[in-house]
Structure 1
Amino acid sequence: MVRAFPAFAPLPSRMTFLKFLRSVKNELILFFTPLAFLPLPLVIGTAEAECAYVIIMMAVFWCTEVLPLAITALLPALLFPLFGIMESKDVSEVAAGSCARKGRIPAHSRTSSALSISQVCMQYLKDTNLLFVGGLMVAVAVEHWNLHKRIALRVLLFVGVRPALLMLGFMGVTAFLSMWISNTATTAMMVPIVQAVLEQLNDNEAEIPQILSSEEQQVQTSDPDSKQPLQTEKQSEGQQGSVVVTFLDTAVEAAKRKEAAEKKRMCKGMTLCVCYAASIGGTATLTGTGPNLVLKGQMSQLFPENGDVINFASWFGFAFPNMILMLTLAWLWLQFVFMGFNFKKTWGCGAVKTEKDIAAYNVIREQHRLLGPMTFGEISVLGLFTLLVVMWFSRDPGFVDGWATTIFNSEAEYVTDATVAIFIAILLFVLPSKAPSFCCRSHSFDTVPPQAAGPTPRLLTWKVVQKKLPWGIVLLLGGGFALAKGSEVSGLSKWLGDQMAPLQSIPPWAIAIILCLLIATFTECTSNVATATLFLPVLASMSQSIGINPLYVMVPCTLSASFAFMLPVATPPNAIVFSYGYLKVADMARTGIVMNIIGILCITLAINTWGKAMFELDSFPVWANATGV
């Protein structure tokens, strides 16, 4: 017996090898990425090439996430001192001059670097990092006391449960909350509420009798001359009666399938609107999402003479109208895709509330009732949150002197938004969570029974902060600032900017659109903070080389870094919504690509209208010539 041997390896062996490669993918990337780009520091050997080597390696690690993002952000603290780009500790003027004489700093920046070198470890805890920490502590307090849930339920009770208005309510609440607390926490809180309401709106068992009765009524009234046409046909012609019954069953099944498809589409739209609104809402405030803070920090570092052009009030004045416009267009787009524009069905125009609507409304009301009356702690946190927002807006509004100048007679660089955030954060650890015993009618605030004598718990404890505050983002922001500083000190930023000088022939608005498309695509594959960290220093150098206001490209690209609408893995809110099983990747991709286009069009409109007036984008500012090197 002759046995034929295959020309290729058996399929199981090939599959085993591929499976093995997938299992060691991270190790291969960790090992071969540094080796693949090693010619940059070894062969070229300039400071620019060494800095580019660090940035490329970090970009690959951030995109593939073979290491935690925060750990990758620590690489500048290791590699910049080893390559001699920046020292790890603070140095004196003599040491700075020594570094310049050794040629580790380019000639064009030796003079300023000899006076003051901002070393690598100092980049990991700057003013922007403290602004982030203070703002997140207030957000943690809001979340800890369920104040965000109370606000959400009150708004939903106000808008009602008609599909269009319900979607508007979900999107409005999610966007507002994500302006102040993290997008992930907002989505995780809102999706269970959406799920509970959808379960009441999609109660199929209660609808089947109504569907059957309506179909039977249509068949029975098809012949107005006969009172009982169906019975007559069954009695006279049994075969024809069976055909009619079969037709009736087919019609009922078709109606039920159509109804089920409509409900499924509505579920997709209702859940998808939450993650989209969370991403859009986070762009409206300086502390709403990471890329905004990266822009704030990069502007302070790259252009120290900018006069605090990006602060909480100025950013809100620009980004909030853009958020409202984009949220409205997103709402209309999601309605068109998933629910259509049937005003009677989706808006309830001229329609009477059904039992399903009442049941869904009762779910929201019951959730709100379970929260109970507002406690003394909730009222205190709400008061501190309001105080924080007011102090942020009034510190340096721009058109008049703020309270920092009037009361403390200090410039904006002394009292910053971070100062306000840390002040309110400290108050959270000082003020009690229960009304003092000497306060009249203190029992009216709290429904819990009095406890034994002991220290009164504070509004926020360190244990809660340790558990809920994403400390990794602090390192991620710091790593971005270290990269930006290393790019300047090494001369890489200037070199990259010079390579982009031919872009002078392209209109600035076209450059902004192209860059926004690039970043909106890139952010689908990597962290939005990492995206902004990698691109903003390069964009700053490019704008200097071609002679346009740096804000003209940096602000739109910062917003575009938050437009991760297409993939479940692009951002945590997308992943949370996708995990509930209503959506497919294709659903999110088809809807998300239009959302990206909507976002870029809105940004283009904003930066060329009120943004141009607010930031004086028609002229090249004086502060853009002064760098932080």
Structure 2
Amino acid sequence: MAPPCLRPLLRFKSFVVLFCTPLLLLALPLLVPTKEAKCGYVIILMAVYWCTEVIPLAITALLPAILFPMFGILESKRVCMQYLKDTNMLFVGGLVVAVAVEHWNLHKRIALRVLLIVGVKPPLLMLGFMGVTAFLSMWISNTATTAMMVPIVQAVLDQMNSTEQDLTITDQPNGQVNSAIELEEKNSMSLTSVQVIGNGDVPDEHKAPGDREVKKCISKGMTLCVCYAASIGGTATLTGTGPNLVLKGQMNQLFPENGDILNFASWFGFAFPNMILMLTLSWFWLQFSFMGFNFRKMWGCGMERTDKEKAALNVLKSEFRKLGSISFAEFNVLMLFILLILLWFSRDPGFIPGWATFLFNKDEEYVTDASVALFVALLLFVVPATKPKFNCCSRNSFSPEQNREAMEEPFFPAPLLDWKVVQRKMPWNIVLLLGGGFALANGSDASGLSKWLGDQMTPLHTVPPWAIAVILSLVIAVFTECTSNVATATLFLPVFASLAKSGIVMNIIGVLCTTLAINTWGRPMFSLDTFPSWANATAGK
């Protein structure tokens, strides 16, 4: 908590940061009137605004379009072109497919099916939650995956903690999927004198302290595993999370002659094994932290299901039954989703020429991963959501009323997606954020700031590459803990102090796994022992 003397100033924090920061930073371009200093001014200003969030992140990303032309760094038309590059279109196409998966609830069907296969032993259930979350996060956003999985986790935990009562799962009257997965219980008499509260739990004062602690630890572990798995899963594919696309866009911007070394297939080959390794180690650590480690209990060797596990299994079975059989729309979305993955992998696999090389990219790279994503996204607005009814040739077999209704219906059914759904669910702010990053990279290169920073890092040439990777990974891991919202972190840090031990180890696991991947299979995959000619910033200058 801030000292009493400073509390009145906190009321004006946003005002001070918003207006005083650009004025204070003006000393840099005024005292050092070079393009490098002017570009540094823009980058520092945007970093402060992004960290403090005094204005929306997407609006901050538009500052290069205003300040670069004013400082004479880049023309306005060159800056604005950075906001809709090939990488942005790849992101948009991938998100449209993700919107279709969410819209038709295909992700929930996949999640419940896998959880039913894995089982409901707490350690295996955690593994199932993490595996499903990581897989879905490879294709749809981390936020959407977590928002879908957390209610499922909560419903399972509620049922596991409510076995003292004869619970039943309430079906919705209209048969639709209960997205909130709310559970209700029968009004039944308790067989003991212990009072039962409204949610079916025995009050804490009637429970043994050890039982309460175990319940809390399992709940913490199950909830945290979804959050960590979503972040880990997003690293496995190029479109899994925004920073991956930022890297691809920055490489294409700064090193246009890189020969498309970073595409969907090459990224997957490098990052997917790393994701599996991180997910496995994270599962072991979270299980050890919140459940202990018991091999027999983990795999259920010679053990029967407890009442809690049976209740949790009933929750999953009930929610899966509510989904019904797979619909025509879900099947079409699944087929288009598989088509997208196959086209991405086979476009330019690396070890053999892909279909794009044979058909389109013989001389230059005309077709990219963005072309594939936009093609499948277009099909989502064409492929019907229901089976077409061709009744025009058999009107005599219907009554006049049926013929009239058949003639009023459109010949071709509604497609899988319409623009209203996409507009409502598409995170357009991420597109602007990506564009802002590309504009900064272009401005840094044009102003000479990138070369100046490279010259300042000359002493790092004596440091081994693996050590640089470790240092950078640690610095970035620490920095990302603070960039979202400093005030929120300060507010909730005392609350989450008990969970800090797992978070630190999870960061260490990520850093070590990434370092291992770079220095093992990443070395031959990307020829890291040879400095590429296209990465020489001083060549031709």
User: Normalising by the residue count of structure 1, what TM-score does the alignment of the two structures yield?
Assistant: 0.74
Among 520, 524, 537, which residue is 2:481 paired with? 524
2:310 paired with 1:358: yes
Among 30, 35, 38, which residue is 2:26 paired with? 38
Among 430, 453, 465, which residue is 2:409 paired with? 453
| Percent pairwise identity | 69
Structure with bigger helix share is 1
Instruction: Give the equivalent residue in structure 1 for 2:532.
Output: 621
Among 599, 603, 606, which residue is 2:517 paired with? 606
Tell me the alpha carbon deviations over residues 50-108 of structure 1, each in whole angstroms, 9 at most, x when there is no partner: 0000000000001111111100000000000000000112xxxxxxxxxxxxxxxxxxx
2:442 paired with 1:485: yes
Between the aligned partners of 1:341 and 1:206, the Cα distance in structure 2 is 29
Between the aligned partners of 1:403 and 1:271, the Cα distance in structure 2 is 43
Instruction: Give the equivalent residue in structure 2 for 1:500.
Output: 457
Among 175, 191, 200, which residue is 2:159 paired with? 200
Change (3 A) 1:628 1:599: farther
Among 88, 99, 102, which residue is 1:129 paired with? 88
Check conservation: 1:301, 1:628, Cα contact below 8 A: no
Between the aligned partners of 1:406 and 1:433, the Cα distance in structure 2 is 33
Check conservation: 1:171, 1:273, Cα contact below 8 A: yes
Between the aligned partners of 2:206 and 2:332, the Cα distance in structure 1 is 56
Structure 1, unaligned stretches of length 5 or more? 1-13, 90-118, 213-251, 440-449, 529-566
Change (3 A) 1:422 1:628: farther
Aligned residues: 490
Change (3 A) 1:261 1:568: farther
Give the partner amino acid of 1:64: T
The CA deviation at 1:289 is 0.4
Check conservation: 2:387, 2:413, Cα contact below 8 A: no
Among 157, 164, 167, which residue is 2:126 paired with? 167
2:91 paired with 1:180: no
Give the partner amino acid of 2:120: V
Give the partner amino acid of 1:53: Y
Q: Which structure has the greater CA radius of gyration? A: 1
Instruction: Give the equivalent residue in structure 2 for 1:594.
Output: 505
Change (3 A) 1:568 1:84: closer
Tell me the alpha carbon deviations over residues 182-207 of structure 1, each in whole angstroms, 9 at most, x when there is no partner: 00000000000000100111126359
Tell me the alpha carbon deviations over residues 135-164 of structure 1, each in whole angstroms, 9 at most, x when there is no partner: 000000000000000000000000110001
Task: Report the secondary structure of 2:350's partner residue.
Answer: coil
Check conservation: 2:163, 2:308, Cα contact below 8 A: no
Between the aligned partners of 2:442 and 2:389, the Cα distance in structure 1 is 53
Between the aligned partners of 2:461 and 2:92, the Cα distance in structure 1 is 40
The CA deviation at 1:255 is 7.3
Give the partner amino acid of 1:176: F
Structure number with greater CO (CA < 8 Å, separation at least 6) is: 2
Change (3 A) 1:628 1:312: farther
Deviates more, 1:272-281 or 1:402-411: 402-411
Instruction: Give the equivalent residue in structure 1 for 2:261.
Output: 309
Instruction: Give the equivalent residue in structure 1 for 2:173.
Output: none
The CA deviation at 1:344 is 4.1
Give the partner amino acid of 1:462: W
Between the aligned partners of 2:535 and 2:191, the Cα distance in structure 1 is 69
Change (3 A) 1:407 1:28: same
Instruction: Give the equivalent residue in structure 2 for 1:319.
Output: 271
Among 57, 67, 70, which residue is 2:55 paired with? 67
Check conservation: 1:132, 1:287, Cα contact below 8 A: yes
Tell me the alpha carbon deviations over residues 211-259 of structure 1, each in whole angstroms, 9 at most, x when there is no partner: 99xxxxxxxxxxxxxxxxxxxxxxxxxxxxxxxxxxxxxxx98972111
Check conservation: 2:64, 2:79, Cα contact below 8 A: yes
Structure 2, unaligned stretches of length 5 or more? 167-189, 194-203, 392-404
Matches of residues 515-554 of structure 1 in structure 2 within 5 Å? Answer: 515-526=472-483
The CA deviation at 1:431 is 1.1
Change (3 A) 1:594 1:312: same
Query: CA RMSD of the aligned region, Å?
Result: 2.7
Task: Report the secondary structure of 1:356's partner residue.
Answer: helix
Among 269, 276, 295, which residue is 2:228 paired with? 276
